[in-house]
Each structure stands twice: as C-alpha cells, then as structure tokens.
Structure 1
C-alpha cells in the first residue's frame, strides 16, 4: 500500500499563505467597493456630487 509522492512542507505552507493573502485581498476589495457605493437614502442632489472631484483635485490623488 504505497502512497503517491508527497508534497514538501514548504509548498504546502506557501499555498496556505497564498490562500490567506487572497482571502484578505478579496475582503479588502469588497470593503472598498461597499465604501464607494452610493447610499440609497441620500436625496438626488447630494448623490450627484459624490463622484466628481472638487476644484483643484485630481482623481489620482485619492487614497
């Protein structure tokens, strides 16, 4: 009853770290998407000004 070749522990640990990093990245991106979403309870005149940069600001400077 021989088993197939085993993966080295280094690869298994690396895969676990990558999975954890991907989960964290996905959670962070979902949070960013929720933060950027326009709330539905705002009046129409407040929603229109949400996405446009103010005078003197460029979209690249947002962080």
Structure 2
C-alpha cells in the first residue's frame, strides 16, 4: 500500500513540476517580448523603418 501512495506522490510531483516548467517558459517568453518592445520604442536612434536617424547634426 505504501508503494502505491509513493507512486502517486511521484506522479503528482512530476505533473506539478511539468506545469511549473511550462508556466515559467511562458512567463519568460512574455517578459522577453515586453523587453524587446520597450527597447524598440525607447531607441530614438532608429526610425520606424529600422534605418539610422542621423538627426540634425551637420545641418547649417
């Protein structure tokens, strides 16, 4: 009887670990996407098309 309870506990723990791993992966993906969005919107050196903005330096 103790063996059956031990197997169930291991299965429950394994299932829980799998759920946690999946949740952590999804959280990491979401955080990386948010960081990329913030970096893209906070980078004033690039235009919307990705080309470098030379600004007004050198204009007279």
What band does the TM-score fall into relative to the shorter chain? Answer: 0.5 to 0.7
Alignment RMSD: 2.4
Structure that is richer in helix per residue? 2
Unaligned runs of 5+ in 2: 1-5, 48-52, 56-60
Query: When the two structures are aligned, how many residues end up with a matched partner?
Result: 41
Moved over 4 A (4+): none
> What TM-score does the superposition give when structure 2 sets the normalisation length?
0.54
Q: Which has the larger radius of gyration?
A: 2
> What TM-score does the superposition give when structure 1 sets the normalisation length?
0.52
| Alpha-carbon distance in structure 2 between the residues aligned to 1:17 and 1:34 | 26
